[in-house]
Amino acid sequence: MSRVLVFREYGGPETQELVERDVPEPGAGEVRVAVRAAGVNPADWKRRSGRFGTKIALPAPMGLELAGVVESVGADVAGLEVGDAVLGVPARGWGALAEHTIARAEDLVPKPAAVSFVDAAALPVAGATAYDVVHQVPLGPGATLLVTGAGGGVGVIAVQLAVAVLGLRVIGTGSEAKRALLEELGAVFVASGPGVADRLVAAAPDGVDAVVDLVGGEALREAARLAREPAAVVSTADPAGARELGGAGVVRHPTRESLGALLGHVVAGHVRPRVSGVFPLERVAEAVAAVETGHATGKVVVEIG
């Protein structure tokens, strides 16, 4: 048997449960992964709460990104063998917050030996999203990028890519508790909350070349006012709001493509995953709760096995 976190119905944390299921068998084009670590994302609890609107079969497994070891290979799989260390995303209908899961071979990339399983698990969703969003609006070195919610899992990677790889001047908003981290990463810190509009103008009196929004709502609208071109506003959290302002939602590329490119920067030392909390599978509910508060700095990861 194999344990997995599921939610039985749409709602709060009380709907979650760590249950046992049969060890799964991969189908054509799939592999079974013995999960060593899994990242926790805001999308996990938002999906559980029904915020996305799309209804799925219940109980539904939770967890969207993983790192582990290939344990079984299905038919028509090339390039992966039993024993390979990998990272990526689980196949639809499976979950990463589990001892074993199923993934499509095309959604996995080899894990470099220099990257731990815990750090690797912080990258497939948050890291790949960060890679896509900071590259969506082409900017040259020295341009100014404003990132809202810069201290979260996506934001921490986005800031590092923008500063260390693209050579941008980055203004990052976040809670005061995230100031030290964002300044360490090279961002100009602006405290979020009441009065943030005035603080943003003070940090960028001439406006900014692009906005990466990771918060949505009023934070998106306040940030968008600074963009010299409305089309240079991109949101992962509020695509509809961004489009209303003349911008766009993030355009996602295949996981293998973005994740592979990001891993090159991780191995080169340009980007370092920032994991703020590591929980065992037995305490997975605490890990989800830590992300659900909205105050986690960097990534929360569940270590398994």
Number of neighbours of residue 1 by Cβ within 10 angstroms:
9
In a domain? residue 34 = yes
The verdict on residue 121 lying in a domain is: no
- Average pLDDT of the residues in 15-19: 96
Shared-domain flag, residues 74 and 144? no
Helix ranges restricted to H, 114-195: 117-121, 126-136, 153-160, 179-184
Query: Looking at the domain assignment, is residue 198 inside a domain?
Result: yes
Q: Is the pLDDT of residue 261 over 90?
A: yes
Quote the pLDDT of residue 132: 97
What is the average pLDDT value for the chain, to the nearest integer?
95
* Whether residue 102 sits in one domain with residue 54: yes
pLDDT over 90, % of the chain:
92
What is the domain-level CATH number for residue 219?
Answer: 3.40.50.720
Classify residue 13: in a domain, yes or no: yes
Please report whether residue 104 resides in a domain.
yes
Write out pLDDT tens, residues 82-97: 999 999 999 998 999 9
User: Is residue 115 over pLDDT 80?
Assistant: yes
Structure tokens at 303: 């270590």
The encoded tokens of residue 223 equal 């940030």
Question: Does residue 128 have a pLDDT over 90?
Answer: yes
Residue 58 sits in the same domain as residue 161:
no
Q: Which domain holds residue 189?
A: 126-249
Is the pLDDT reported for residue 141 higher than 80?
yes
233 shares a domain with 134:
yes
Q: Do 285 and 209 share a domain, yes or no? A: no
Structure tokens that stand for 24 in this block: 């799964």
pLDDT of residue 51: 83
Residue 199 falls inside a structural domain: yes
Domain membership of residue 262 (yes or no) is no
- pLDDT of 298 reads 77
pLDDT for the residue 5: 97
pLDDT at 71: 98
Same domain for 130 and 41, yes or no, is no
Residue 24 has a pLDDT of 95
> Do 138 and 31 share a structural domain?
no
For residues 185, 189, 193 and 194, what is the CA-based torsion angle, rounded to 10 degrees?
180
Distance CA 168, CA 149 (A): 17
Q: Helices H, strands E: what count in the chain? A: 10, 16
94, 104, 149, 215, 291 from 294: Cα distances, Å: 25, 30, 10, 10, 6
Cα–Cα distance measured from residue 199 to residue 246, given in angstroms and rounded to the nearest whole number: 23
What pLDDT is attached to residue 237? Answer: 92
Give the pLDDT score at 54. 74
In a domain, 116, yes or no: no
For residue 100, pLDDT over 80 is answered with: yes
pLDDT (0 to 100) of residue 168: 98
Residues 140 and 171 occupy one common structural domain: yes
Q: Is there a single domain that holds both residue 156 and residue 184?
A: yes
What's the sign of the alpha-carbon dihedral 92, 97, 102, 104?
positive
122 and 156 in contact (C-beta within 8 Å)? no
> Which residue from 305, 266, 5, 2 is spatially nearest to 110, judged by alpha carbons?
266
Regarding whether 194 and 146 lie in a shared domain, the answer is: yes
User: Does residue 187 share a domain with residue 83?
Assistant: no
Cα dist from 214 to 42, 179, 243, 254, whole Å: 11, 17, 14, 20
Are the beta carbons of 174 and 180 closer than 8 angstroms?
A: no
pLDDT (0 to 100) of residue 55: 77
Once rounded to an integer, what is the mean pLDDT over residues 69-73? 98
Number of domains in the chain: 2
Token code pair at residue 54: 């799309």
Q: What CATH number is associated with residue 73? A: 3.90.180.10
What confidence tens digit (pLDDT) does each residue in 142-181 have? 999 999 999 988 999 999 999 999 999 999 999 999 999 9
Whether 272 shows a pLDDT value over 80: the answer reads yes
Tokens of 216: 């949505």
For the cut 80, the answer to whether the pLDDT of residue 113 exceeds it is: yes
Q: Are residues 104 and 135 in the same domain?
A: no
pLDDT tens string 173-214: 999 999 999 999 999 999 999 999 999 999 999 999 999 999
Query: pLDDT at residue 296 above 90?
Result: no
Residue 57's pLDDT is what?
A: 85
Taking alpha carbons only, the member of 93, 114, 109, 119 closest to residue 36 is: 119
- Asked whether the beta carbons of 151 and 291 are under 8 A apart, the reply is no
